[in-house]
Amino acid sequence: MNIVGLIFKASYQLSRHRIGPLRLNLVPLVLALASGLLWWKVGGLTGEQAILIIVLCLILVLVTLLAKRQSFIIFRRSEGALLPSPDCPELAPDEKAAVRATGLFEVRGERRYFVEATADFATMETREHIVMVRMLDSRFLVGAPKGDVGWWYIFFKPHTLRGIEVGEVCFGLRSRPAIKLITTSEGKVEPVYLSFDDLLQMQRVLEDLCRDAKIKPQSVPR
């Protein structure tokens, strides 16, 4: 089990949902302030109780801030070098490969950051790559907030791909084999993470990415 991955996943879900205007990941901060005021103004708590609640709440806030700083995901690059296998069946143009994707998605000029969203990877006949995700309506901490519901996309071409790393991602209790893509968009470096149910699917996507990018992946899963 991966406790840190579970904490990151919980922090991500809390950061995306609200109670009114307040994001759920900020609720512990409000509780800490309320406890301090209650102790100071009303005396409804003993000093020890108030301090304990404040400390615990501030620890929760610190954990969520650290998770956000790490983009809510852990990527562990493995040692070695993984080269595309000649026996691996190629992805056909427009064929969809099931993945989970992490990165900045865009639609109609709006951008959203999603973590380990159920997605499809495909390469068009023009060799432009696309990662597409459909965000479903939310049911308390499951699914997407109303403003995120619908289809979102990441497009990138082979010449914008600056690097590929192979390893695993941790998000929740279990790790998954994954590829980290270093892409550039409008002069900015933007990582994209693709994780897979099995190594064969990862090999197929890896071979497709390396075909035109003229770069070699830098690591291999253990």
Cross-strand pairs, 120: 98, 132
Task: Return the ∠ at Cα 201 (arms to 200 and 202), rounded to 5°.
Answer: 90
What is the rounded distance in angstroms from the CA atom of residue 118 to the CA atom of residue 47? Answer: 47
Cα four-point dihedral sign 58, 62, 68, 69: positive
Question: Tokens 């892409």 — which residue?
Answer: 183
Looking at residue 147, what is its pLDDT? 74
- Is the pTM higher than 0.85? no
Q: Which of 95-99, 143-147, 201-205 has the lowest mean pLDDT?
A: 143-147
pLDDT tens track for 159-180: 899 899 999 999 988 899 999 9
Q: Where are the alpha helices (DSSP H) in the chain?
A: 3-16, 27-37, 47-69, 199-213
- Whether the pLDDT of residue 222 is over 50: the answer is no
Q: In 3D, which of 18, 26, 212 has the Cα closest to residue 126?
A: 212
pLDDT tens digits, one per residue of 72-119: 999 999 876 555 566 778 899 999 999 999 999 999 889 999 999 999
User: pLDDT band for position 221 (50/70/90)?
Assistant: very low
- The pLDDT of residue 32 is 64
**Complete DSSP assignment for 137-183:** BPBTTBSB-GGG-EEEEEEE-GGGEEEEEEEEEESSSSEEEEEEEEE
Interval 118-134: pLDDT, tens: 999 999 999 999 999 99
Domain range list for the chain: 3-69, 74-213
Q: What is the CATH number of domain 74-213?
A: 2.30.29
Alpha-carbon distances, residue 85 vs 89, 167, 177, 186 (angstroms): 9, 17, 17, 33
Mean pLDDT of 174-189: 89
CB atoms closer than 10 angstroms to residue 119: 26
